[in-house]
């Protein structure tokens, strides 16, 4: 009965999500180096199957721009046939992680790394889709696309192809302009209409009216012919270590993006909270099906999910229905989609890529110091200069180094309270990394001084520092001085560690 009561609101929201998802499904497929039909298949599975199983009722799943770069690299290096086995393995990893209740661990990712990853992906999407906007084929890497752009731009104005590149460029730029103007000035009564749909519809109508000689979307009359069932022979390619690494990278990035999106969706509404392990398992099932059918990988996507919440959805029915509308349009009216210019979808992805870069994220990181900003920039640049996996691993490595540096930071202050007495205040973590500085401070104290060590703000002390303090104390006693730890609990801890160290050395 609850589903019937909420059907009007969910039904309206599903139409809004469908209108948002339609151009993105095809555009992300093109950005991934795949036919548009592959993206539509993923969108349908994300709605009908994952929408039913989802642990985050208001989240919408489908092809994501965040994985387009990884898929493009995989297809360009190993061929389209390698995507199915890799995606199947990634889905199995997600399903197993959900069953083992590891969902929360996929969210343990530093914000600087996540923001840097999205920025790097956004830059790569822009660099590749600028070529798509002029009916040119994007190259394998971001640097190659950047270096090839001046030549492609010259070709636009040489009219060697009968003006096709020039016309496509105008259509792409026009789509971006429509999206920007709509996002900025849209009427409140029409706020549910997405700018991407407005831009693509106007670009399509204009290109048909002017009969522009530009490339358009290619879709089969029967969506079933776009399905490439995975074969046992294809599964044998997983013996290649490179493909196993790609599967692990795809599983991790898809899971992190999904669960971060689910957490963001939870903050947008007051309804049921997300069950992260169930959501992770549902994504695994969806990606297993997409791998078996030769489609694109899926994640929970924040753009479609936020549109779903803002349109008034209250249950999973909205996400399920949006998959049904996609299936109906592709099955009944493929000719409508076949009239859409590829350059217009490229414009949609260029606009999306610019939004992924999001300079506001860098400004937000500034309040936490310079190091998070440097991690953001290093992650993004490494993704652009090398590849997605290397960039993300670089971000993680820098985050761990920052953590180790913060954990080992030791502050030392010597206060001379009265003649012949002093207090040694230690704050932070006293590890072997702090031994040189601690030794320097102790060397500056007269050996005849009675030193009281204040450890009330010390979080950790290791054997190297304990041994240094004991050595100085023994030497000071020979000159009439000494060393004493003031806090009893910490004194007991130090004594315990000293006894264990002596026992270990025999």
**Encoded tokens for 220:** 């089969």
- The answer for residues whose C-beta is within 8 angstroms of residue 153's C-beta and 6 or more apart is 134
pLDDT, tens digit, for every residue of 44-99? Answer: 999 999 999 999 999 999 998 778 888 998 998 888 889 999 999 999 999 999 99
Secondary structure of residue 450 in the 3-state scheme: strand
| Number of structural domains the chain divides into | 2
Query: Do 283 and 145 reside in the same domain of the chain?
Result: yes
pLDDT, tens digit, for every residue of 252-267? Answer: 889 988 988 888 788 8
Q: Where are the beta strands (DSSP E) in 369-449?
A: 410-418, 421-430
Query: Do 286 and 242 reside in the same domain of the chain?
Result: yes
What is the spatial distance between Cα 104 and Cα 312, in angstroms, rounded to a whole number?
28
Mean pLDDT of the chain: 85
Query: Do 389 and 292 reside in the same domain of the chain?
Result: yes
Is residue 500 predicted with pLDDT exceeding 70?
no
pLDDT, tens digit, for every residue of 349-383? Answer: 888 888 888 788 778 888 877 888 899 999 889 98
Query: Do 477 and 381 reside in the same domain of the chain?
Result: no
Query: Do 49 and 124 reside in the same domain of the chain?
Result: yes
Report residue 387's pLDDT band, with 50, 70 and 90 as the boundaries. confident
**Encoded tokens for 194:** 């997405």
Is residue 489 predicted with pLDDT exceeding 50?
no
Of 34, 48, 70, give the one whose Cα is nearest residue 345.
Answer: 34
Q: What's the alpha-carbon Rg for the chain, to the nearest Å?
A: 29
Query: Do 338 and 419 reside in the same domain of the chain?
Result: no
DSSP state of 329: H
Of 57, 71, 28, 67, give the one whose Cα is nearest residue 320.
Answer: 57
Paired sense of beta strands 450-461 and 60-62, if any: unpaired
C-beta neighbour count of 222 within 10 angstroms: 11
Query: Do 372 and 438 reside in the same domain of the chain?
Result: no
CB 142 within 8 A of CB 320: no
What is the spatial distance between Cα 252 and Cα 109, in angstroms, rounded to a whole number?
11
Place of tokens 């990035």: 253
What is the spatial distance between Cα 127 and Cα 384, in angstroms, rounded to a whole number?
10
Residue 161's pLDDT is what?
57
**Encoded tokens for 490:** 């910490």
Query: Do 437 and 335 reside in the same domain of the chain?
Result: no
Host domain of residue 491: 409-504
Q: Please compute the mean of the pLDDT values over residues 479-499 and round it to a whole number.
A: 66
Query: Do 341 and 480 reside in the same domain of the chain?
Result: no
Report residue 488's pLDDT band, with 50, 70 and 90 as the boundaries. very low
Query: Do 321 and 447 reside in the same domain of the chain?
Result: no
What CATH number did the domain enclosing 499 receive?
3.30.750.24
Domain boundary residue, one of 364, 380, 401:
401
- The answer for residues whose C-beta is within 8 angstroms of residue 18's C-beta and 6 or more apart is 321, 322, 325, 326
**Encoded tokens for 182:** 């709509």
**Encoded tokens for 257:** 């993006």
Domain boundary residue, one of 383, 401, 419:
401
Torsion of CA 294, 217, 170, 304, to 10 degrees: -50
What is the spatial distance between Cα 287 and Cα 94, in angstroms, rounded to a whole number?
9
Domain boundary residue, one of 336, 368, 401:
401
pTM of the model: 0.76
């Amino acid at each position: 009965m609850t589903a019937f009561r909420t059907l009007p609101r969910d039904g309206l929201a599903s139409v809004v999500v469908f209108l948002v998802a339609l151009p993105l499904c095809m555009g992300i497929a093109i950005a991934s180096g795949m036919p548009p039909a592959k993206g539509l298949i993923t969108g349908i599975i994300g709605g009908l199957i994952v929408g039913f199983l989802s642990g985050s009722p208001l989240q919408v799943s489908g092809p994501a721009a965040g994985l387009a770069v990884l898929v493009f690299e995989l297809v360009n290096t190993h061929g389209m046939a390698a995507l199915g086995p890799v995606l199947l393995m990634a889905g199995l990893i997600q399903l197993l992680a959900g069953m083992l209740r590891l969902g929360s661990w996929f969210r343990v990712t530093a914000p600087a790394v996540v923001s840097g990853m999205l920025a790097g992906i956004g830059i790569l999407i822009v660099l590749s889709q600028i070529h798509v906007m002029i009916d040119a084929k994007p190259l394998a890497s971001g640097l190659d696309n950047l270096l090839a752009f001046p030549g492609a731009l010259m070709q636009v104005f040489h009219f060697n192809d009968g003006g096709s590149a020039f016309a496509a460029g105008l259509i792409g730029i026009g789509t971006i302009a429509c999206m920007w103007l709509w996002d900025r000035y849209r009427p409140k009564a029409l706020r549910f209409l997405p700018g991407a749909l407005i831009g693509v519809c106007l670009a399509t109508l204009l290109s048909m009216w002017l009969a522009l000689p530009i490339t358009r979307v290619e879709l089969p009359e029967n969506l079933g012919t776009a399905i490439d069932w995975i074969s046992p022979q294809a599964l044998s390619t997983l013996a290649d270590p490179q493909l196993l690494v790609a599967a692990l990278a795809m599983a991790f990035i898809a899971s992190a993006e999904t669960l971060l999106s689910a957490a963001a969706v939870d903050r947008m509404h007051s309804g049921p909270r997300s069950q992260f392990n169930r959501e992770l398992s549902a994504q695994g099932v969806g990606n297993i099906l997409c791998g078996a059918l030769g489609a694109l990988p899926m994640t929970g996507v924040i753009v479609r999910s936020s549109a779903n919440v803002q349109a008034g959805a209250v249950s999973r029915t909205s996400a399920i229905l949006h998959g049904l509308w996609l299936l109906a349009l592709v099955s009944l009216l493929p000719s409508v989609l076949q009239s859409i210019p590829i350059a217009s979808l490229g414009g949609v992805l260029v606009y999306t890529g610019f939004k992924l870069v999001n300079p506001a994220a860098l400004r937000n990181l500034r309040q936490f110091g310079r190091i998070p900003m440097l991690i953001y920039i290093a992650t993004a640049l490494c993704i652009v200069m090398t590849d997605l996996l290397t960039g993300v691993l670089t971000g993680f490595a820098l985050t761990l180094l920052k953590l180790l540096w913060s954990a080992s930071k030791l502050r030392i202050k010597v206060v001379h309270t009265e003649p012949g007495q002093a207090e040694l205040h230690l704050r932070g973590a006293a590890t072997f990394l702090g031994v040189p500085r601690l030794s320097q401070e102790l060397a500056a104290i007269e050996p005849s001084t009675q030193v009281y060590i204040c450890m009330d703000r010390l979080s950790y002390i290791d054997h190297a520092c304990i041994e240094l303090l004991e050595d100085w104390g023994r030497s000071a006693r020979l000159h009439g001085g000494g060393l004493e730890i003031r806090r009893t609990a910490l004194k007991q801890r130090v004594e315990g560690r000293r006894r264990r160290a002596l026992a270990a050395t025999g």
